């Protein structure tokens, strides 16, 4: 059987799975009664509701009259590069300091663009680092290590 | 004249040198980011929110409001000059604004947009002041049951009036509500869905969620596309519209203001719906004999929607300020900002923080004046900004977002959460799931549970309490009526048609 509306079908399944997940995990907490609701009461109800909504969406996606647009291709490359750069920033910020973390973030994330040019990224990175230092460190007085740990007294 | 006294208090607060400076900084930064394509107002606010934490609550909210309407306004500049909507609500401005620019009338289009916005903003500010008191008085008669029903109405209204699939939007709300429940349950002290991660016992940060699903997902989606821009930068002159232009546009501005103000108050309304509705209205009124025809550079097609979206942007503050209910994602972020400053949103804000309440309202008028001053003479600078290519912009946006996410708790954990929500947001984007309802649900989740619990405790577990109290019943009936209305085939097709105007 051909799935009529790909986007609806898969988003329905996603909602169904998340709803069941929340309702399932909530069972380790106390349910309580309608009068005195425990911590599991509202999440169980909402999780159930989300699962039902997801099921309806998925079924409608299977059977709907007109054919919907198929899901566009996932570009995992840019996604991984951009979010990887962000995670690296978080990972490097404390041990390596703001300047190094920013240089990595800008260098790696700029690589995600198909117009990546090294000689454009270097001045951009330099400009952004100076801007960030000026605004956040000297301007707003943000407390964050600027230089790597070994360079600090 | 209580209203006058209140406005005086507001002006006294808004006109202090410090608050003027923050209002100016807000509108300036907002315009700057609004002009740059690729970052909408929600993402802009999420990105800049952490940097206002250190300010006093009043200054912080004044600045955030300034960023919001600045971004809103900057978006129309981009729409007129580049044919790229800086954000969704300026989609219709592209239609006639860009055509005017192509005919060498970019100046007049920008000028009339500024004048219309200023007029609409001034009227809307007065409306907020006038509506605030009666609504607050009504809200004080609300018990937990009424609040719960009001939130149901607010959430349903928010998705009914938005574009896209209704049932998916409702599912996104429920998902948002669930995500909002992560963290320590106030009643029992149990850390729900925290999976023994200490940072999660405080809940997921709303800034991280908003930044992830709006800013990061937008960036990834934009990076994979090849961009094409055609900018009319060289001949922006004659910013003052001619007398004929003003005569032509004045009725459209008045209608746009009225329509926008009305739609802004409704849940889910705000700027987006207002601009679409106004464009349709102007097109209908002008009819076939409009010269030039709509879509080919008619000044009313710019004046109406621009006034409407500014009016709508402002009046959407009414439910947020008086009832503590966000009508759209931007207001949800404003509520989050208030909570961070330890201000419990709701009707008590007006009596407990009168200076903040009226100061914020008065600052909107001041900010609108600043927008005109900023935009007309400085248009040349904004035009230059449009030449910055996206490949240089997004590393900058990412840098600011990452630093912002880190500075929420001075903890890299929030940076990771933002990255995870970026991936989730990208999935939503590919599956056509609108993220705005998710944010609304996320903010309202804990409040809804709290009011549901209290209502059920007071009624001794009797769920009919929501239907036997007249105010609560009225609110729920309104919500049900909205769903039924939208499901009707005739309205359904009209609704789809209204949102397709921009395609």
A49 and A12 share one domain: yes
What's the token pair of residue B89? 């609500």
Out of B165, B400, B452, whose CB is closest to A42? Answer: B452
Out of A35, A87, A136, whose CB is closest to B457? Answer: A35
What's the token pair of residue B153? 């109405």
* Nearest chain B Cα distance for residue A13, angstroms: 11
Which is it for the CA torsion B216, B221, B225, B231, positive or negative? negative
A86 and A146 share one domain: yes
| A139 in a structural domain | yes
Report CB contact under 8 Å: B391, A116: yes
pLDDT for the residue B502: 43
Contact B233, B104 (CB under 8 A): no
Alpha-carbon distance of B238 to B244, in angstroms, equals: 14
Which is it for the CA torsion B174, B180, B183, B186, positive or negative? negative
What domain range includes position A126? Answer: 76-151
pTM, entire model? 0.85
What's the token pair of residue B19? 């608050």
In this prediction, residue B317 has a pLDDT band, given cuts at 50, 70 and 90, of confident
- Measured torsion, CA atoms of residues A47, A50, A55, A58, in degrees rounded to the nearest 10: -130
A45 and A81 share one domain: no
With vertex at residue B428, the alpha carbon angle to CA B411 and CA B149, rounded to the nearest 5 degrees, is 85
Phi (first) and psi of residue B319, to 5 degrees? -65, -30
Report CB contact under 8 Å: A37, B453: yes
| A70 in a structural domain | no
Q: Does A31 touch chain B (CB under 8 A)?
A: no
Residues of A in contact with B174 (CB under 8 A): 19, 46, 49-50, 53
Interface test with B, best of A29, A90, A112 (most B CBs within 10 A): A90
Alpha-carbon distance of A27 to A87, in angstroms, equals: 32
Residue B422 pLDDT greater than 90, yes or no? yes
Alpha-carbon distances of B197 from B105, B183, B194, B300, B414, rounded to whole Å: 58, 10, 6, 56, 12
Once rounded to an integer, what is the mean pLDDT over residues B21-49? 86
Burial of B164 (0-12, 13-18, 19+ CB in 10 A): middle
Q: Nearest chain A residue to B178 by CA: give it.
A: A43
Q: Which of A38, A63, A88 is the last residue of a domain?
A: A63
Percent of chain B exceeding pLDDT 70 equals 91
Q: Is B50 left (phi over 0), alpha (psi -120 to 50) or beta?
A: alpha
A81 and A133 share one domain: yes
Give the DSSP H or E segment for A29.
none
Burial of A2 (0-12, 13-18, 19+ CB in 10 A): exposed
A48 and A12 share one domain: yes
Q: Which of A35, A31, A60 is nearest to A47 (CA)?
A: A31
A35 and A86 share one domain: no
* Nearest chain B Cα distance for residue A47, angstroms: 7
Q: Does A143 touch chain B (CB under 8 A)?
A: yes
Contact B25, B63 (CB under 8 A): yes
In this prediction, residue A23 has a pLDDT band, given cuts at 50, 70 and 90, of very high
Number of domains in chain A: 2
Contact B360, B65 (CB under 8 A): yes
Residues of B in contact with A136 (CB under 8 A): 51, 403
In this prediction, residue B327 has a pLDDT band, given cuts at 50, 70 and 90, of confident
| A116 in a structural domain | yes
| A42 in a structural domain | yes
A87 and A128 share one domain: yes
What domain range includes position B74? Answer: 2-500
Give the distance, in angstroms, between the CA of residue B210 and the centroid of all CA atoms in the same chain: 13
Alpha-carbon distance of B88 to A56, in angstroms, equals: 29
Beta bridge partners of A32: A37
Contact A42, A33 (CB under 8 A): no
Residues of B in contact with A105 (CB under 8 A): 395, 398-399, 402
Phi (first) and psi of residue B188, to 5 degrees? -105, -15
Number of domains in chain B: 1
A57 and A96 share one domain: no
A86 and A142 share one domain: yes
Once rounded to an integer, what is the mean pLDDT over residues B347-363? 87
Alpha-carbon distance of A44 to B26, in angstroms, equals: 42
DSSP structure class, residue B341: T
pLDDT for the residue B253: 92
| A68 in a structural domain | no
Interface test with A, best of B60, B393, B395 (most A CBs within 10 A): B395
A21 and A42 share one domain: yes
pLDDT for the residue B227: 59
| A55 in a structural domain | yes
Report CB contact under 8 Å: A140, B219: no
Residues of A in contact with B220 (CB under 8 A): 75, 78-79, 82-83, 112
A47 and A93 share one domain: no
Once rounded to an integer, what is the mean pLDDT over residues B466-486? 87
| A37 in a structural domain | yes
| A89 in a structural domain | yes
Residue B498 pLDDT greater than 70, yes or no? no
Residue B359 pLDDT greater than 80, yes or no? yes
A85 and A117 share one domain: yes
Q: Nearest chain B residue to A94 by CA: give it.
A: B412
């Amino acid at each position: 059987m051909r799935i009529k509306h790909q986007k609806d079908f898969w988003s329905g399944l996603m909602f169904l799975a998340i709803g069941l997940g929340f309702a399932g995990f909530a069972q380790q907490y106390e349910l309580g009664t309608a009068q005195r609701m425990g911590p599991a009461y509202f999440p169980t109800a909402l999780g159930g509701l989300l699962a039902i909504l997801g099921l309806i969406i998925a079924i409608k996606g299977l059977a709907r009259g007109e054919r919907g647009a198929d899901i566009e291709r996932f570009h995992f490359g840019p996604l991984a590069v951009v979010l990887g750069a962000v995670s690296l920033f978080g990972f490097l910020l404390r041990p390596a300091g703001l300047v190094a973390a920013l240089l990595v973030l800008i260098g790696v994330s700029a690589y995600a663009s198909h117009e990546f040019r090294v000689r454009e990224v270097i001045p951009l990175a330099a400009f952004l680092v100076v801007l960030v230092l000026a605004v956040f460190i000297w301007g707003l007085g943000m407390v964050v290590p600027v230089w790597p740990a070994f360079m600090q007294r | 004249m209580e209203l006058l006294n209140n406005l005086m208090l507001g002006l006294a607060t808004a006109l202090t040198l410090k608050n003027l400076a923050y209002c100016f900084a807000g509108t300036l930064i907002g315009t700057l980011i609004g002009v740059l394509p690729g970052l909408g107002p929600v993402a802009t606010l999420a990105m800049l929110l952490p940097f206002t934490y250190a300010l006093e609550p009043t200054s912080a909210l004044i600045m955030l409001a300034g960023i919001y309407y600045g971004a809103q306004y900057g978006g129309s500049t981009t729409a007129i000059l580049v044919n790229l909507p800086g954000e969704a609500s300026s989609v219709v401005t592209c239609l006639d604004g860009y055509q005017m620019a192509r005919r060498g009338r970019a100046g007049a289009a920008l000028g009339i947009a500024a004048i219309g916005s200023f007029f609409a903003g001034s009227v809307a500010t007065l409306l907020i002041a006038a509506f605030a008191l009666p609504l607050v008085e009504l809200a004080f008669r609300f018990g937990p049951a009424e609040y719960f029903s009001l939130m149901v109405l607010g959430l349903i209204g928010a998705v009914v009036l938005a574009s896209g699939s209704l049932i998916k939007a409702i599912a996104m709300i429920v998902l948002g509500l669930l995500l909002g429940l992560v963290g320590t349950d106030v009643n029992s002290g149990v850390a729900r869905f925290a999976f023994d991660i200490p940072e999660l016992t405080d809940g997921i940060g709303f800034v991280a969620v908003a930044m992830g699903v709006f800013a990061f997902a937008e960036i990834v989606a934009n990076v994979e596309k090849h961009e094409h821009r055609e900018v009319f930068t060289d001949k922006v002159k004659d910013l003052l519209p001619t007398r004929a232009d003003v005569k032509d546009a004045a009725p459209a501005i008045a209608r746009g203001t009225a329509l926008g103000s009305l739609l802004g108050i409704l849940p889910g309304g705000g700027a987006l719906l207002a601009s679409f509705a106004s464009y349709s209205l102007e097109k209908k009124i002008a009819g076939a004999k409009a010269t030039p025809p709509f879509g080919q550079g008619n000044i009313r097609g710019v004046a109406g929607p621009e006034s409407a979206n500014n009016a709508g942007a402002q009046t959407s503050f009414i439910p947020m300020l008086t009832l503590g209910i966000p009508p759209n994602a931007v207001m949800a972020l404003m509520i989050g900002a208030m909570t961070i400053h330890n201000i419990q949103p709701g009707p008590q804000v007006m009596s407990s923080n009168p200076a903040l309440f009226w100061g914020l309202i008065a600052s909107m008028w001041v900010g609108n004046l600043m927008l005109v001053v900023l935009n007309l003479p400085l248009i040349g600078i904004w035009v230059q900004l449009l030449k910055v290519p996206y490949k240089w912009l997004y590393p900058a946006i990412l840098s600011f977002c990452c630093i912002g996410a880190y500075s929420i708790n001075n903890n890299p954990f929030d940076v990771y959460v933002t990255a995870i929500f970026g991936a989730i947001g990208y999935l939503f984007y590919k599956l056509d799931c609108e993220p705005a309802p998710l944010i609304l649900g996320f903010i309202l989740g804990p409040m809804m549970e709290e009011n549901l619990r209290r209502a059920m405790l007071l009624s001794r577990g009797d769920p009919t309490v929501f239907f036997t109290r007249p105010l609560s019943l009225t609110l729920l009936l309104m919500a049900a009526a909205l769903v039924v209305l939208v499901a009707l085939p005739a309205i359904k097709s009209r609704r789809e048609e209204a949102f397709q105007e921009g395609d």
